[in-house]
């Protein structure tokens, strides 16, 4: 992707593709969460009503949740970051535990993504798969036996609670860090922030990436 060099003192963190994948996924996720709350919590259900409409919106926002990421797979920048999220380096072992105990600042240096971000993204990805699967079982109830449907709504309900708490935590972390939000909005972060929050996300890494790409054009994972 061609892009102008960043402002002095800044560096690129996310490409246009990555930001749009994040934007559309978060819109779908919030739609699914808000409609779920209106369907599930009695005091909201009383106020909002319109049950059939809410069900349709919830079903479609839910089933479309994996779509932005699947579309993004066709772009190298996103695949590169998926690889970074997938792999745990030596700096990541114990990082999440240290962050819980002493705060993220005192948990040790991180790469482009810290271990908490890696675990969050992986858990949400798995959870979305499970929510879509169990959601489909409930969407088409005549295709499965009663015990399967009961099991599916059991998983869907409890996992929804976990996902809701995690998403609130994710938003809380973003609210505490304006520069991280700036990075997701514009794609650029200051070098000072990058050094402070992601010390091991080095220029060398990106140089190496470029180099590797020339040698191995199909490197996607």
Partner 1 sequence: MNKDGRPVGRRVVLGVAALGAAGVAFGARFQNGIDSFLATVDSKDPTGLTGLLPGGGGFQIYNVADSLPHKSDQDYRLTVDGLVDRPATYTLAELRAMPQTTLVKDVQCVTGWRVPDTEFGGVLLSHLLDTAGVRPEGKALRFTCFDGVYSESLTLDEARRPDMMVAHQMNNAPVTDAHGGPVRLYAAPMYFYKSAKWLSGITVTDRVMPGYWEHYGYDVEAWVGKSNGRNDAPTSP
Which positions touch partner 1 (CB under 8 A)? 40-42, 45-47, 49-52, 80, 83-90, 92, 111, 118-119, 121-123, 125-127, 129-130, 133-134, 137, 141-142, 145-155, 157-161, 205, 208-209, 212, 221
Which residue do the tokens 């909201």 mark? 44
Q: Min. distance of Cβ 8 from partner 1 in angstroms?
A: 26
> Strand, coil or helix: what is 12?
strand
- Rounded (5°) CA angle 71-76-79: 70
The sign of the torsion formed by the CA atoms of 146, 148, 151, 157 equals negative
Q: Min. distance of Cβ 86 from partner 1 in angstroms?
A: 4
Q: Which is nearer to partner 1, 130 or 179 (CB)?
A: 130
The CA distance from 51 to 107, in Å, is 46
9: alpha, beta or left? (left if phi > 0; alpha if psi -120 to 50): left
Q: Which is nearer to partner 1, 1 or 47 (CB)?
A: 47
Q: Min. distance of Cβ 141 from partner 1 in angstroms?
A: 7
Q: Which is nearer to partner 1, 40 or 74 (CB)?
A: 40
Q: Which is nearer to partner 1, 39 or 182 (CB)?
A: 39
The CA distance from 188 to 14, in Å, is 7
The CA distance from 172 to 120, in Å, is 13
Q: Min. distance of Cβ 22 from partner 1 in angstroms?
A: 17
Q: Which is nearer to partner 1, 6 or 151 (CB)?
A: 151
Q: Min. distance of Cβ 178 from partner 1 in angstroms?
A: 27
Helix (H) or strand (E) holding 10, with range, is: strand 10-12
Q: Min. distance of Cβ 71 from partner 1 in angstroms?
A: 18
Q: Is 183 exposed, middle or buried (0-12, 13-18, 19+ CB in 10 A)?
A: buried
Helix (H) or strand (E) holding 145, with range, is: none
Q: Which is nearer to partner 1, 133 or 178 (CB)?
A: 133
């Amino acid at each position: 992707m061609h892009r102008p060099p960043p402002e002095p003192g800044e560096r690129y963190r996310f490409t246009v593709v990555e930001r749009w994948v994040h934007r559309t996924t978060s819109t779908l996720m919030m739609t699914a969460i808000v409609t779920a709350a209106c369907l599930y919590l009695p005091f909201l259900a009383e106020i909002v009503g319109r049950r059939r409409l809410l069900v349709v919106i919830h079903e479609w926002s839910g089933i479309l949740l994996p779509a932005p990421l699947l579309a993004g797979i066709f772009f190298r920048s996103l695949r590169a970051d998926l690889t970074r999220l997938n792999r745990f380096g030596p700096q990541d072992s114990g990082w999440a535990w240290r962050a819980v105990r002493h705060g993220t600042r005192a948990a040790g240096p991180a790469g482009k993504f810290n271990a908490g971000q890696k675990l969050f993204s992986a858990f949400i990805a798995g959870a979305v798969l499970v929510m879509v699967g169990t959601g489909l079982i409930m969407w088409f109830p005549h295709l499965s036996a009663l015990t399967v449907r009961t099991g599916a709504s059991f998983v869907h309900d409890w996992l929804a609670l976990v996902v809701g708490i995690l998403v609130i935590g994710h938003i809380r972390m973003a609210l505490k860090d304006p520069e991280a939000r700036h990075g997701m909005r514009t794609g650029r972060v200051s070098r000072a922030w990058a050094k402070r929050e992601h010390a091991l996300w080095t220029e060398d890494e990106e140089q190496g990436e470029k180099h590797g790409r020339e040698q191995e054009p199909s490197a996607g994972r």
